[in-house]
Amino acid sequence: MNERMYGTMGTAAFVIFWVALFAFGAARPEYSHLHKAVSELGVVGAPNALAWNVIGFIVPGLLLAFFSAGLATSIDGRRGVLWWLLVLSTLCFAATGLVPGEMHNGSPMLQSRLTQGHLLMANLSPLLWIIASFLLIRRVKKNQNWKSFATRAVVYAIVCVGGFILSIVIAGIIPVFLHTPGLNQRFCFAFYFCWFLIMSLHLLSTAPRVK
């Protein structure tokens, strides 16, 4: 595959996730994007849970994994640390659909192995991405074809990772946001996916083609 195909996969992952999120949410009148977690669409026993887990988590995650492999290879020319961090981050995202959580009376069942696995994957995914986004800055500086992108990579990492972390912090310290956990989570997803979208668009437009 060439880099245009990888870039298309990254862009498609962004579109599929957000379209699916609002489409599946609209199919459930009681579902609120302000108050409900994204994962609640796929918990065991939820309406259309299997469809959401496949379309909302697994498919975008796999597309991002292919894109990440292409992005890292374009920058490093090999399967280095950046490759593994990005691919594992996105595979963890896909895995949240393979291990859906369980809920009882509106609360997650933390003693459930499924819920524990889901939370593990959900936390590993952004952690690996945060590390990768800053490692990418260092790696692009060493690649002549990507060197001019270094400054923008810094900006994108600061804005997206900073926004992701700030969304979590605000959710825990500002009273008004304590009542809208779903909205806070969507901000986190937005920063995560926007970083991948930006990288996808760069790969589509200016990055050298893989021969």
pLDDT digits (tens, 9 = 90+) for 73-109: 999 888 899 999 999 999 999 999 999 999 888 778 8
pLDDT of residue 177: 60
pLDDT digits (tens, 9 = 90+) for 152-176: 999 999 999 999 998 888 876 765 6
Residue 209 has pLDDT above 50, yes or no: no
pLDDT of residue 92: 97
Q: Where are the domains of the chain?
A: 3-205
Contact 200, 3 (CB under 8 A): no
- Direct distance between the N- and C-terminal alpha carbons of the chain, in angstroms, rounded to an integer: 9
The SS3 assignment for 107 reads strand
- DSSP assignment of 135-150 equals HHHHHHHT-TTTGGGH
Crossing angle for the helix pair 181-205 and 150-173, to the nearest 10 degrees: 170
pLDDT of residue 175: 59
pLDDT of residue 188: 93
User: Taking the model in full, what pTM does it have?
Assistant: 0.90
